[in-house]
Structure 1
Amino acid sequence: MALTYEAARTDLGAFLSRREDGRSSLDLLVPDARCAGCMAKIEREMQALPGVAAARLNLTQKRLTVEFRAGAGDAGGVVDTLARLGYPATPYDPGQAREAHDREGRQLILAMAVAGFGVMNTMMFSVPIWAGLFGQELGPATRVLMMWFSGIVGAPCALYAGMPFFRSAWRSLKARRANMDVPISIGVILTLAISFSETVLGGRDAYFDAAVSLLFLLLIGRWLEHRLRARASSAAADLLALQAPTATLIGAGDVLTATPVDKVQPGDLLLVRPGDRLPVDGEIVSGASELDNSLLTGETAPVAVAAGQACRAGALNLSGALRLRASARSEDSALAAIARLVEMGAQSKSKYVRLADKAAAIYVPVVHTVALLTFAGGWALGLGPREALIRAVAVLIVTCPCALGLAVPAVQITASARLFRRGVLVKSGAALERLADVDHVIFDKTGVLTLGRPRLRDTAAAAIAMAAPLARASRHPLAHALAEAAGDGPLAEDVTEHPGEGVEGVVDGRRCRLGKAAFLGVQSHAAETELWFGFDNDIRIRFAFVDPMRADVAQTVAALRARGLSAEILSGDLPGPVERAAAAAGVARWRAGCTPADKAAIVDELTRQGRKVLMVGDGLNDAGALAKAHAAMAPGTALEASQNAADLVFSGESLMTVVDAVDVARSARARAMENFGLAALYNLIAAPAAMVGLVNPFVAAIAMSGSSLVVTLNALRTGARR
């Protein structure tokens, strides 16, 4: 059950998260925060409160995190201040946040459906009235009857469909500010009032159809915005979901107890079985195994570990049981640190101020002033209050921000559709604006420049057939690649895993081994990934594995360079493979052995230097850099958390889709600027015409719709292939 404001106000102290250093934090759900302006205002007011060290608002989650200094923590004051600003808040609950988001979507769909119904049915009574424009005049009684019918259908639909705008405008006015919903609400309400006045007094014109048509168009844009926000799910939550939910605690007398991972404390002794993920960071006390760190580093080669070595949460234990001494709590693990990098990067990206928001900041006061001057000037020049008010309403409607509001979204939708057909999914409209600005590209190696799937090098079929039965019995990733190359077939018998070394079994009555060179008594100094196979006291066969490069890597880098973008490679892999990949791609600048924090720090440093970075990565170690970069892309084969941290996701084996995305984004930027110019030109012509009485509210609604159609048609040119 959702917590009410009053209950939250009295119980908020219980929701403070207190730390050992005396500091505390509070997470709140702020459902009415909608735009960058809301975020800037809320964060500014929160940080001005006594005892508040920092405040961050995540617009996607509607989550406000307030951090208090040591000894401070007035949670009630925070909630009271938010209420005064017009943003009621409750303690943050993910389920409640999803419910609020879903409820908003249902309300928008219902309002849009009602508006659509109103448009269609109001037109049935408006068309006969319009017929008078073509010499087919209705009788006075019939005309008034049609106006009444139009009002009976249109007015309730407009009042219901306009509630999202009316509520937003009222909250804005209560907080002594004006957003774009204020002139929309005033225009709709005055249009309905004038229409009823004309109907009651037997006037010539009623504009119920204009009011409901205006709302229908605006609701389409509002719903599309809602859908874009719905796609921007939290990557940080996906990262933390990779942690094991429980840990096996080893107590006195080696008694095993399953305990929630958030209850594990530093110093606790844990058992990690083969096939389990490490629940927290720690040091191996006993046991030997191989760890699959691909989620953390992006590299597919397993790492052998033994007693005394440190390991990180999220790694997959492949072969042997390990006793692990916890060195950190789950919330302080390396995985949690990456999640925090992602969250901070996502919040910094949400501060990107769109051009439409900047234009809107000028639009609202200007339109109100012009409408007021139109009314006052018309009355002062001898017009009656009715005619002066009609002109003022016409100004509000004809300058409705539809064209301005559609200038960017129409381009974004068109560009997103074109990229989708080319194999690129755009998750955020603002991503295209940022992608158009990039001047430097960072590539991860494994899974981006390469396919991220180890493949067996050319090997004799007879050798593969000999090793395949033992490979099929192993869970090792390289053994899987060997088994895949062999296809279906028999399985080895009496199989035994040797943690960190390999696997042993019986094939055709002969004992054999598959694993490291030393496991088979062979000395090897190879610089590439390998497995060895052999029967006891018999031949030894070496299997080499490679991660193939994407076929068009060099072409992609050259195309980016031709467009003025520089490129580099950041990888967690060893220097040898990274250097070879850089040479094949034609990239001079590369760095190997990078940790997740290293990659995020490099992106931060480039940003401080004024570079606009595009990060292309697929591993968990890329998630922080993806979130912090100016724009981010991930392949469709990437970890889900990395895809969620990215702005765009591309499918297929072609890397040229990165170039396609940059081209379409730059085209979208050009079309958006053209649309702003068209919207400005329209208002420069339409507003004076409405002020001098050349445009009534009905014509104003048609003109407004026409301007929206023009910017939409111009948007269709975005990204078209020539």
Structure 2
Amino acid sequence: MSCCDTSTSSPGALPAGDGGFGRAERLGQVRDVDGRGHCRLSVPDISCGKCLGAVERALSDCEGVVSARANLTLRQVSLVLRSPGTDPKPALDRLGAHGYPATLIDFAVPSDERVDDTARGLLRCLAVAGFGATNIMLLSVSVWAGAEGASRDVFHAVSALIALPVVAYAGRPFFASALTALKGRRLNMDVPISLAVLLATAISLVETAMRGPHVYFDAAVVLLFFLLVGRYLDQLMRAKARSAVTSLARLASRGAMREGPDGTVAYLALDQIRPDMVLRIAPGERIPVDGCILSGVTDLDRSLVTGEHAPVSAGPGVALEAGILNLTGAIRMRVLRPAEDSFLAEVSRMLEAAEQGRGAYVRIADRAAQLYAPVVHLLAALTFLGWFVATGEWYPSLFIAISALIITCPCALGLAVPVVHVAAAGRLFRQGIMMKDGSGLERLATIDCVVFDKTGTVTTGTPVVADGGPDLSEDRAVAAALAARSLHPASRAIAATGDALPAPVEDLRETPGCGVEGRVAGRRARLGRADWVAEIASGALPTASGPAFALEGGPVSVFTLSETLRDGVAEAVAAFRAAGLRVEILSGDGAGAVEAVARKIAFDAVHHGATPADKIAHLKALQAEGRRALMVGDGLNDAAALAAAHVSMAPGSASDAGRMAADFVFTREGMGAVTDAHRIARRAARQVRQNFGIAIAYNCVAIPLAVAGYVTPLVAAIAMSGSSIVVVANAIRPERRVSAKDPAPAARKAAA
């Protein structure tokens, strides 16, 4: 089996002939990202590691192209253009000239499962090849049983009449791919396969015409049959490996009912929905784009975002992410972002990027695949010459060379890494974790140190009032009214403790870095930093730390706040430490707040009062010690540290900058996602090493046997198909489940 094949383009793709920018712009197929143009191309003829390198090299100096990254499993290319107005047509033309016809894909629609004409076509070819192989083998049995003379010639002639149309039809996937490659002045896996099938058929026709004793129609047709079996199984396994991408695509709505300014309702396709539009969502429909509820009350299935399947009540003002399911009530929503910038599109792009990283293992596989074409043809030629010189017979020599052509297969090497990364991305997605880059998966598997930020990561970031504050309920109500003026997390906690105010607070204003001030019955009232509040108060300043409150001329009261630990954080830290990893907390908060958390969780090291620059310096110091640190953080001040770390993770609630800088984003509430990601990364690394071992062992055994003449073309086809299927099957085999409630087994698996 070969991993090279032709396939159809994705739905909504723009034919290369219509690839001018004008239409691409109208369809939303080139999008603006930080002043650059971004687009995706469907390239069906991308089929192995060698193709990835050829495509990227072809586009490296193309007019208007800043960078290009090819994706093997999706058979796509992500292009970064000089500007959003850059015409992508030169890139389409360049790829077409190199034998890789390409089409533009609409960004507004997440990658869906292909209309699988290729799989259906392969199945038809397989049926034809099976029919032909069965009948030709029956005729061959008669020849093997001793038929001679005219009877043998008739059997050969009937075999030829069956074989010619069967080879012509069933061999189309291989012949078309080989022809496209040769037109582009390149070689791919299907060139030697096509050469082997055509040579066997041509030799058999010559033998039939000359009434020779031996023909090989059975070998040619059965060879095609087994190659097609392997090709079809490969298609099915690839589809299973990227099931997370395809299942996510099924969650994408194709459009929604828009409410016009006059109250009229009309259906709009997804790519026509724009920010500030008002949509009506009926029960049972999925949210098409990100937005917020304007009116209506309903229950939502937010499992795509949170991983929790329990329905969540929602009403006006609640934010909605694309892909979540409206369960019970009709709602009206206002659109916040277009489809290409929605939560669902962002997650889809993360999944599709799973195998695009160029880690160490990928680079090894790419180099091996690039050497394949010249090496295998040279090997086959030397095999033929060697046997011909040794025996003087060109028929047997040619058939041994054909076997060598077929059996040498870089497919297993080419698939060893990407199929593992795609399968791992699917496992991570099912655990509520999005992976941005396959190379991040490799780096996560090698960590020996974990560094946690505190607020929003180890803790939920939502403080609560534990004790303290004014004794009089009237004063607490004033403090709560002042707190309601601020968006600071501490202020929100204090505001939640207040009762109805006996008298209104006037002249409310917030002083950045200090707090909130107002007037009650002519007296000033302040809530905020203790030294600032003390300016209007009397008496000694309390020694307790926390937000302070005072009425003019009165005493200073201090609110004691406590933070809630994120679910599963203690278990996650324990599991990492049990696995032999160093675990630290690195926070910009004061010593008191950080030490309070450290008393609840046993960290190996505690660092407080760290600025963003301090965090980067600490990570670089760890790197200088030879450590490979995983940074887990969420805030804007963590973005630089997340980018500087060996590998990084951020919760879905993190700031936009934090999510963009992180290699992984998890949407689950609990911190168990971090240990799950590490476990899956370790398992993926083991699978990659196993796949490399399988591929290398196969070629080391198969090639010498084929060159020595111990392998027929039929056996070579079966062996080549089997090697690739074993590699793919190893990557997608089920994982033994580990209970999240028991950290000890998780730790043992992480340490394995």
Determine whether 1:515 maps to 2:527. yes
**What residue number does 2:509 align with?**
498
Residue of structure 1 equivalent to 2:163:
147
1:437 correspondence with 2:453: no
CA distance in 1, matches of 2:655, 2:641: 14
3-state DSSP class of the match of 2:360? coil
Alignment of 1:659 with 2:675, yes or no, is: yes
Whole-angstrom distance in 2 between the partners of 1:97 and 1:586: 53
Equivalent residues of 2:358, 2:438 under 8 A apart: no
Deviations 1:339-371 (Å, cap 9, x if unpaired)? xxxxxxx9xx95533243354456555434332
1:155 Cα offset (Å) = 3.0
Deviation at 1:450, TM superposition (A): 1.4
Q: Is the 8 A contact 1:529 1:544 kept in 2?
A: yes
How far has the Cα of 1:713 moved from its partner? 4.5
SS at match of 2:575: helix
In the other structure, the counterpart of 1:586 is 602
Aligned residue type for 1:404 = L
Residue 454 of structure 1 is matched in structure 2 by 463
Return the alpha-carbon distance in structure 2 between the equivalents of residues 615 and 433 of structure 1: 15
Compared with structure 1, are the counterparts of its residues 28 and 384 closer, same or farther at alpha carbon in structure 2 (3 Å cutoff)? Answer: farther
SS across alignment from 1:452: coil
Shift of 1:638: 2.3
Which residue does the alignment assign to 1:572?
588
* 1:185 aligned residue (181, 190, 210): 190
User: Per-residue CA shift, 1:268-293, capped at 9, x if unaligned?
Assistant: xxxxxxxxxxxxxxxxxxxxxxxxxx
- 1:184 deviates by 0.6
Q: How many residues align?
A: 556
The C-alpha deviation readout for 1:242-272, integer Å capped at 9, x for no partner, is: xxxxxxxxxxxxxxxxxxxxxxxxxxxxxxx
Cα distance in 2 for partners of 1:586, 1:613 equals 18
1:701 partnered with 2:717: yes
Alignment of 1:59-208 (within 5 A): 62=78, 111=118, 114-120=121-127, 122-129=129-136, 143-160=159-176, 162=177, 182-194=187-199, 197=202, 203-205=217-219, 206=221, 207-208=223-224
Determine whether 1:377 maps to 2:393.
Answer: no
In the TM superposition, what are the counterparts of 1:235-246 in structure 2 within 5 Å? Answer: none
Aligned residue in 1 for 2:359: 352
Q: TM-score with structure 1 length normalisation?
A: 0.59
Letter in structure 2 aligned against 1:638? A
| Secondary structure, aligned partner of 2:585 | strand
Give how far 1:374 is off.
Answer: 2.1
Distance 1:128 1:526, change over 3 A: farther
Match of 1:685 among 701, 708, 716: 701
Measured at CA, do residues 28 and 513 of structure 1 come closer, stay the same or move farther in structure 2, by a change above 3 Å?
closer
User: Hey, what's the Cα distance between the residues in 1 that align with 2:130 and 2:550?
Assistant: 80
Taking the aligned partners of 1:679 and 1:720, their CA distance within structure 2 comes to: 28
Q: Distance in 2 between matches of 1:701 and 1:462?
A: 87
Distance 1:221 1:124 in 2: 25
**Secondary structure, aligned partner of 1:442:** strand
- SS of 2:171's partner is helix
Tell me the C-alpha RMSD between the 2 structures. 5.8
Which residue identity is paired with 2:459?
T
SS in 2 for 1:515: strand
> 1:618: Cα distance to partner?
1.8
| Deviation, structure 1 residue 113 | 5.3
Q: Deviation digits for residues 96-120 of structure 1, max 9, x if unmatched? A: 9865999999989654554455345
Could you tell me how far 1:186 is from its partner in structure 2?
1.8
Q: Is the 8 A contact 1:634 1:649 kept in 2?
A: yes
1:436 alignment partner AA: A
2:631 maps to which residue? 615
1:530 aligns with 2:547: yes
- Over 3 Å counting, the alpha-carbon distance change for 1:29 and 1:709 in structure 2 is closer
Instruction: Give the SS at the match of 2:630.
Output: strand
Match of 2:402 among 382, 393, 407: 393
Higher mean C-alpha deviation, range 439-448 or range 579-588: 579-588
* Aligned-partner SS, 2:631: strand
What amino acid is aligned across from residue 376 of structure 1 in structure 2?
L
Q: Report the Cα distance in structure 2 between the residues aligned to 1:570 and 1:26, rounded to whole angstroms.
A: 35
Aligned counterparts of 1:199 and 1:462: Cα–Cα separation in 2: 103
Give the CA deviation at 1:393: 3.4
Q: Is the 8 A contact 1:62 1:97 kept in 2?
A: no
Aligned partner of residue 722 in structure 2, secondary structure: helix
Per-residue deviation at 1:498? 0.8
Q: Aligned equivalents of 2:620 and 2:105: distance in 1?
A: 32
CA deviation vs aligned residue, 1:567-620 (integer Å, no higher than 9, x gap): 333333334433443454333544444444554454445445543222222223
Structure 1: how far apart are the matches of 2:412 and 2:553? 81
Whichever residue aligns with residue 118 of structure 1, its letter is: C
Output the CA distance in 1 between the equivalents of 2:434 and 2:619. Answer: 23
Q: Contact 1:30 / 1:88 at 8 angstroms: preserved in 2?
A: no
CA 368–638 in structure 1, closer or farther in 2 if over 3 Å, else same:
farther
Cα deviation, residue 58, structure 1: 6.7
Does 1:405 pair with 2:414?
yes
134-143 or 392-401: bigger deviation: 134-143
Identity score, percent = 30
State the alpha-carbon separation in 2 of the partners of residues 408 and 719 from structure 1.
21
Supply the distance in 2 between the matched residues of 1:199 and 1:526 (Cα, whole angstroms).
Answer: 98
* Aligned CA distance change for structure 1 residues 183 and 434 (closer, same or farther; 3 Å): same
The DSSP-based 3-state class of the residue aligned with 1:498 is strand
What residue in structure 1 maps to residue 281 of structure 2? none
| Structure 2: segments with no counterpart, 5+ residues | 1-13, 22-34, 72-76, 146-153, 209-216, 248-352, 739-744, 746-752
In the alignment, the residues of structure 2 paired with residue 418 and residue 126 of structure 1 have an alpha-carbon distance, to the nearest angstrom, of 40
Give secondary structure in 2 for the equivalent of 1:587. Answer: coil
* Partner amino acid, structure 2, of 1:428: D
Greater displacement, 113-122 / 683-692: 113-122
- Secondary structure at the aligned position of 2:583 is classed as strand
- Report how far residue 684 of structure 1 moved: 2.5
Structure 1: where are the runs of 5+ without partners? 9-24, 47-54, 67-74, 90-95, 175-181, 232-345
- Partners of 1:585 and 1:97 lie apart in 2 by 51
Q: CA deviation at 1:453?
A: 2.3
Q: Which residue of 2 aligns with 1:635?
A: 651
**Paired AA for residue 464 in structure 2:** R
Q: Alpha carbons of 1:113 and 1:429: their partners in 2 closer, same or farther (altered >3 Å)?
A: farther
- Distance (whole Å) between structure 1 residues aligned to residue 584 and residue 501 of structure 2: 45
- The letter for the 2-side match of 1:395 is A
Question: Are residues 105 and 425 of structure 1, via their aligned partners in 2, closer, same or farther at CA, if it must alter by over 3 Å?
Answer: closer
TM-score when scaled to structure 2? 0.57
Query: What whole-Å deviation, never above 9, does each CA across 1:196-255 have from its counterpart, x for those lacking one?
Result: 536755633324334544554666788899999999xxxxxxxxxxxxxxxxxxxxxxxx
| Deviation string, structure 1 residues 479-522 (Cα, Å, up to 9, x no partner) | 44455678xx979996654122437599xx99996833656955
Post-superposition shift, 1:566? 2.2
Kindly provide the CA deviation profile for residues 599-657 of structure 1, in whole angstroms up to 9, marking residues without a partner as x. 44544454455432222222233333333433222223323543343333334444344
- Shift of residue 687 of structure 1? 2.1
- With over 3 angstroms needed to count, the CA separation of the structure-2 counterparts of 1:537 and 1:576, relative to structure 1, is closer
Q: Is the 8 A contact 1:411 1:718 kept in 2?
A: no
Per mean C-alpha deviation after superposition, the further-off stretch among 668-677 and 359-368 is 359-368
